[in-house]
Amino acid sequence: MSLEALKRKALQNETIRTEYEKLADEFDLMNQLITMRTSAGLTQEALAKRIGTAKGNISRLERGKGNPSWATLKKYANACGFQVKLQAVSSSMNSPSAVNE
């Protein structure tokens, strides 16, 4: 069974789907990081050398482990030929009334 098929099967479970959706933004960031690096034709090791860190730090970042600073995200993106941009979007779940509930 492929990873995608396994994911589809798992997401049929409502509990799993709910938890997955809670982490969707983190998964999206991890995917964007990996896409930037691979688009630049870089290995984790090559990227680590470019930004002056250890390969393990790149691996942890791409697996969603840790809490990277804005400066780290900028270095990562710049080394891959990209820029990072913060975009705020309206969400009913994050409205002031929803936060206070």
Contact of 30 with 63, CB cutoff 8 Å:
yes
Q: Give the global pTM.
A: 0.75
pLDDT in tens, 36-86: 999 999 999 999 999 999 999 999 999 999 889 999 999 999 999 999 998
pLDDT given at position 66: 84
